Structure 1
Amino acid sequence: MSKPVVAVVGRPNVGKSTLFNALAGGMISIVKDTPGVTRDRIYADVSWLDRDFTMIDTGGIEPDSKDIILSQMREQAQIAIDTADVIIFITDVRQGLTDADSKVADMLRRSAKPVVLVVNKVDSFEKFMPDVYEFYNLGIGDPIPISAASRLGLGDMLDVVISHFPEGAGTEEEDERPRIAIVGKPNVGKSSILNKLAGENRAIVSDIAGTTRDAIDSVVKYDGREYVLIDTAGLRRKSKIKEELERYSIIRAVTAVERADVVLMVIDAVEGATEQDAKIAGIAHERGKGVIIVVNKWDAIEKTDKTMREYENQIRQILSFMPYAEIMYVSALTGQRLNKLYDRIDMVIANQTLRVATGVLNEILTEAVAMQQPPSDKGKRLKLYYMTQVAVKPPTFVIFVNDRELMHFSYTRYLENKIREAFGFRGTALRFYIRERKEKGR
């Protein structure tokens, strides 16, 4: 189920982060114990009424001069146009309408993407409404007055945002074809792998960073089965600044991972796994997708009998939060092992959609509890009543206990390991929810 993506664009200090934090309710999608998951708030999960969407912050600008601000805002607007279903354009009622606002509005208007114009810092509708009307001059629809800091008008704004979502967004469920996203840092060989998998030069590949065009999905038939390859095409424009490139590749990864069942996380064998790889992989982990780590350029490595093990250790260490991820060593250049990817993708999808009967789960639970006593605190011991699987993609389990506080993270992990020992679940994350049930009802 693919969630709509909403991108936020606006000048410095108009309140993008304040809005972000207000909507994400402080529960930004950052997993606390996951090393390498982005700490800078680039994206958040937001729910409004019965619609879920992913909100993306296209970038912070803090230069001093007017022209740098404008060129960077154009850059942000372009990212938003490339990746989002709906764009929120934030302006500031106190600063009034500026030249930069008008120029960015022109770009957004030409993009034909739905744009929601938001005027922030309207702490009193009576007092500021005349100033809000000035923003009609941008010619991109009705300005919506809000105050992100006081949380005024956010509901009205969200109503308009979700009204632009495609009918039944997220109903790609009918499409049973596996959706594969190829993600990774710039220049690790994503397009070359895509071309080899697609068996044709569909993406434009050259050695310059930032030559790939906008994302176009390819449908590929292999062994009688159809697959949809989501092209996260790297950058459309070259950026000299490393931070901007990194931020951009994370934004692209978020939008692609959101739509995928299985994520091929491409790592450059020559470079090894890096912090930036961990950030991008963290997105797939949080979203509970199937993950295959594809180590590309394996032909360029001098090998001994220990090379593969040393490599695996390095990757497992940097990506320690996803020990379940499969690892494959390939070369897009020579085509080495690339056709084996399809078998591995099929396996991961089978694991992502595997359902385990409640009876079997509870046998495992009983055995696990017998082998390792549940934790206790001040004489009160954790009791585990039963466990059941409630969802697939990723496989999701609910465990009923007498006291949630007693259920340590480490015990949940112990149970996860027991389930993996029994069923494998290779290549997919597992989710656990702990629910409390009062004793006397037993």
Structure 2
Amino acid sequence: MKPIVAIVGRPNVGKSTLVNRIAQSHDAIVHESRGVTRDRSYHEADWNGRSFALVDTGGIEPLKSEDVFAGSIRDQALAAAEEADVILFVVDGSVGVTEEDESVARMLKRVRTSVFLLVNKLDNPAREDEALWPFYSLGIGEPRPLSALHGHGTGDLLDEVVALFPEEEADEEIAADPDALSVAIIGRPNAGKSSLFNKIIGSDRSIVSDVAGTTRDAIDTVVVRDDRRYRLVDTAGIRKKSTVYENIEYYSMVRGLRAIDRADVALLVVDSTTGMTEQDQKVANLAIERGCALVVLLNKWDLLHEDREREHVMETVDRRLTLAPWASVLRVSALTGRSVEKIWALVETAARNRSSRVPTAKLNQFLTDLREFGHTVVDGKRRLRMHYATQVATRPPTFAFFVNHTDLVTDSFRRYVENRMREKFELAGTPVRLHFRRKNDARDKEA
């Protein structure tokens, strides 16, 4: 599994700017106001060939009282200590040491994880030394000058951070059981994931509680059915990110995302009493982006007693699952066991289709049929022509289409091709990737 680097510190010290600098992206919101970070906080990063997960602990709410602030800081720092391989403690060199910095430092002194004290916003190297001296009082070690905005000092920092990572090893569980199908049970807190997990495996493997966020760890259990081995992962509930910054559930969410990263199939558990929410949709998209096959389980179906309630739930599914209309949807009840046995068949179908390969001959026959149907994209005298297709990868199925003008490929045309492919080939339950590449040949001159 990838090492985790956590970035901690009080609001407005430049954490999000540092995230964007290291991850080489602009995903994190950067603003002068305190506590503004409410955007993505789990980022893929790479330095000198070592990939790692970069976690921004987000802005801490403005100080309302000493007790409230101290509790928030304690959760942030201790959670980072539990999950991270390296901690980057960021302070503002243009302001100096604050009481909030001291609160963070007191928490970090208790951890065994390696901590780098980064004095940010030092944009003038000639005055670095005098700006660093006050931060020795934090007792975290030697302060390091940094300018996240301009990149000064980040390269040397990352060299040292990467050097602390454990040696790269194959996942021990996967190496020990390479044929096991990995299935992650994902969803919002309190949707009934742990109860469903226990019903599936037939034992009380996970703690079941009505308190959202009970599951703190991703728990792996291997189940054997009909000589097929499945590794089930019960992940911590993934809740709205704006509600997890202040406590340890934030890092439970990170564990859930890491479980998705190594899953073949994701079981998205939805609470039928509330229907499919925007956050359910976001969780589903996380799995799709990472190439997981997807099965949607509408749990607590037994609690719906009227037709209008059931219709409302299905309407929310239709509205929220627009990016994955290909996902199987099953109505289940962890309490009564309704349809739980059917989950296995859907998982197997989704996994098989995710690993499937379409012969090149069949793909090009598919292209011939598309041409005969006549649907294409035209821009003035230019007409989109697809000359050749081949499958370039599996898990998920990935296809390359060679065309005369890649700029003519619109989103609607992509959806059209994907929908026709799903009608023609067995691709239920799995995302697919379509790449359109330019094909140079004599016919291009005519186009």
TMscore range, shorter length: 0.7 to 0.9
| Higher mean C-alpha deviation, range 126-135 or range 295-304 | 126-135
Report the RMSD for the aligned CA atoms in angstroms: 3.4
Aligned residue number for residue 183 of structure 1 = 186
Percentage of pairs with the same residue = 43
Seen in structure 2, the aligned counterparts of structure 1 residues 368 and 332 have a Cα distance that, compared at 3 Å, is same
**Equivalent-residue separation in structure 1 for 2:443 and 2:3 (angstroms):** 42
Describe the shift of the 1:23–1:213 C-alpha distance in structure 2 as closer, same or farther (beyond 3 A).
closer
TM, length-normalised to structure 2: 0.84
Q: Which of these residues, 224, 228, 243, is aligned with residue 231 of structure 2?
A: 228
Structure 2 CA distance, aligned partners of 1:222 and 1:352?
20
Which one has more relative contact order, counting CA pairs under 8 Å at least 6 apart? Answer: 1
* Counterpart for residue 414 of structure 1: 416
Task: Tell me which amino acid in the other structure corresponds to 2:326.
Answer: Y
What is the rounded CA distance, in whole Å, between the counterparts of 2:28 and 2:339 in structure 1? 35
Partner amino acid, structure 1, of 2:222: V
Aligned to 1:280: 283
Equivalent position SS for 1:95: coil
Cα-to-partner distance string for 1:254-292 (whole Å, 9 max, x where unaligned): 233223222111111111111121122221122221111
Change (3 A) 1:213 1:20: closer
3-state SS of the aligned residue for 1:180?
A: strand
- Larger mean CA deviation between 186-195 and 379-388 belongs to 379-388
Partner of 1:44: 43
Q: Match for residue 432 of structure 1?
A: 434
Contact 1:51 1:162 in 2 (8 A): yes
Query: Residue in 2 aligned with 1:383?
Result: 385
Distance 2:319 2:148 in 1: 40
Is 1:404 matched with 2:406? Answer: yes
In structure 2, do the counterparts of structure 1 residues 206 and 71 end up closer, same or farther at CA, with 3 Å as the change threshold?
same
Equivalence map 1:214-363=2 (5 Å):
214-234=217-237, 248=250, 251-302=254-305, 304=307, 311-363=313-365
CA distance in structure 2 between the partners assigned to 1:134 and 1:361 by the alignment? 67
Secondary structure at 1:229 match in 2: strand
- 2:232 is paired with a residue whose SS is strand
Report the equivalent of 2:33. none
- Assess if the C-alpha contact under 8 Å between 1:253 and 1:280 holds in 2: no
Q: Which has the larger radius of gyration?
A: 2
Residues 195 and 148 of structure 1: CA distance in aligned 2, closer, same or farther (over 3 Å): same
Alpha carbons of 1:385 and 1:70: their partners in 2 closer, same or farther (altered >3 Å)? Answer: farther
Give the paired residue count: 431
Q: Deviations over 1:49-84 (max 9, x none)?
A: 333334332222231347344332322234434544
Check 1:276–1:360 CA distance in 2 against 1; reply closer, same or farther (3 A cut).
Answer: same
Larger mean Cα displacement after TM superposition, 367-376 or 97-106: 97-106
Deviations 1:194-231 (A, max 9, x none): 22223221221122233334333223333333322223
Q: Provide the C-alpha distance between the structure 2 equivalents of 1:166 and 1:233, rounded to a whole number of angstroms.
A: 25
Structure 1 unaligned runs (5+)?
31-37
Indicate conservation of the 8 Å contact 1:29/1:45, yes or no.
no
Residue 133 of structure 2 is aligned to residue 150 of structure 1: no
* Alpha-carbon distance change, 24 to 402 in structure 1, aligned in 2, over 3 angstroms: farther
User: How far did residue 298 of structure 1 move?
Assistant: 1.2
Give structure 2 stretches of 5+ with no counterpart: 30-36
Instruction: Please identify, of 39-48 and 201-210, the stretch whose mean Cα deviation from structure 2 is larger.
Output: 39-48
1:93/1:201 CA distance change after superposition, 3 Å: same
Alpha-carbon contact 2:304-2:310 (below 8 Å) kept: no
Range with bigger deviation, 369-378 or 400-409: 369-378
Residue deviations 1:283-322, cap 9 Å, x none? 1122221111111111111155x87666434202112111
1:47-62 aligned at under 5 Å gives the runs 47-62=46-61
What is the CA-CA distance between 1:24 and the residue it aligns to? 3.7
State whether structure 2 residue 368 is matched by structure 1 residue 366: yes
Quote how far apart the aligned CAs of 1:157 are.
2.8
Task: Note the C-alpha offset of 1:145.
Answer: 3.1
In 1, the alpha carbon distance for the partners of 2:65 and 2:181 equals 46
Distance 1:378 1:42, change over 3 A: same
